[in-house]
């Protein structure tokens, strides 16, 4: 039996990561343009950030735009970038006032200059906040991240700046985009799909995975609480075994 949420408030996952999936299907089911689905998805982001902060979650990472999403039609990509601009401009003051720290991971070189400036401004303004740490994964791919970390370590070894014997899990993790963040305890994917889709491949090694049928634009606090209840009902052994 899954215990009630309020009975396990102290067993909240420290870090929740979300693969926000289903905007297009939400719009198609209502005979609406995909852009409307993405727009409603951005509203779900605000709901979930607010809910996570209220619950006391420390870290929330949202998969907003993958490295593979660049292959989508140019018009859809521009729509998504437009929503990102609006989010960074419109919601920054509210996030800052609510004690939310914003961080963005991913390949910024592929983003337009104005978006990079908005990201840097948001990160600077919210750097001292500590109520909730929100990380947006934009132009992000887990395999690319691992390859880049391996390349940086190899270059340091070749240049004589790093002893190969010093390379361990902790050092490797320090070369990832998520350096300084704890690994996710819980990864949620919406829309019924059951895969990680190149998201936090290293970091999610021992995360609990919860797949929900709700399409992202409909995801709300109740869905988040239900996913947390499922997480709390699991026995996390990290490869070990209890006596």
Orientation of helix 74-90 relative to helix 34-55, angle to 10°: 30
Cα dihedral: 133, 95, 45, 51 (round 10): 70
| 123-153 per-position pLDDT tens digit | 999 999 999 999 999 999 999 999 999 999 9
Q: Is the pLDDT of residue 106 over 80?
A: yes
pLDDT at 159: 97
Which tokens hold the place of 109? Answer: 């070189």
pLDDT at 236: 75
CA quadruple 43, 48, 49, 51: dihedral sign:
positive
CATH topology of domain 12-232: Undecaprenyl pyrophosphate synthetase (3.40.1180)
Catalytic residues: 21, 69
Q: Is the pLDDT of residue 48 over 70?
A: yes
d(C-alpha 51, C-alpha 47), whole Å: 6
CA angle 71, 187, 103 (to 5 degrees): 65
Q: Is the pLDDT of residue 5 over 90?
A: no
Q: What is the mean pLDDT of residues 31-49?
A: 96
Q: Is the pLDDT of residue 241 over 90?
A: no
Q: Is the pLDDT of residue 169 over 60?
A: yes
pLDDT confidence band for 238 (50 / 70 / 90): low
Mean of all residue pLDDT scores within the chain: 94
pTM higher than the cut 0.85: yes
Q: Is the pLDDT of residue 26 over 60?
A: yes
User: What radius of gyration do the chain's Cα atoms show?
Assistant: 19
Task: Identify the helix (H) or strand (E) that includes residue 120.
Answer: helix 113-125
Alpha carbon of 23 to those of 48, 49, 57: distances in Å?
Answer: 15, 18, 25
pLDDT confidence band for 2 (50 / 70 / 90): low
d(C-alpha 242, C-alpha 57), whole Å: 27
pLDDT at 237: 72
Please say whether the beta carbons of 17 and 204 come within 8 A: yes
pLDDT at 242: 62
């Amino acid at each position: 039996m899954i215990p009630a949420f309020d009975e396990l408030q102290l067993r909240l996952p420290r870090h929740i990561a979300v693969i926000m999936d289903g905007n297009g299907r939400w719009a198609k089911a209502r005979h609406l343009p995909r852009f409307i689905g993405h727009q409603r998805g951005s509203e779900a982001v605000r709901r979930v950030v607010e809910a996570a902060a209220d619950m006391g979650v420390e870290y929330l990472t949202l998969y907003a735009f993958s490295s593979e999403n660049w292959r989508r039609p140019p018009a859809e990509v521009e729509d998504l970038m437009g929503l990102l601009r609006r989010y960074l401009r419109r919601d920054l003051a509210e996030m800052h006032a609510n004690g939310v720290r914003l961080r963005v991971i991913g390949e910024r070189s592929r983003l337009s200059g104005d978006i990079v400036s908005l990201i840097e401004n948001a990160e600077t303004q919210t750097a001292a906040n500590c109520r909730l740490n929100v990380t947006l994964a934009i132009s992000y791919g887990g395999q690319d991240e691992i390859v880049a970390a391996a390349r940086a370590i190899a270059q340091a070894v070749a240049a004589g700046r790093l002893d190969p014997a010093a390379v361990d899990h902790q050092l490797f993790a320090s070369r990832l985009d998520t350096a300084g963040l704890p690994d996710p305890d819980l990864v949620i994917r919406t829309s019924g799909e059951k895969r990680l889709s190149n998201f936090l491949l290293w970091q999610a090694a021992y995360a609990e995975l919860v797949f929900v049928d709700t399409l992202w634009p409909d995801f709300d606090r109740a869905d988040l609480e239900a996913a947390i209840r499922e997480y709390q009902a699991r026995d996390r052994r990290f490869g070990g075994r209890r006596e």
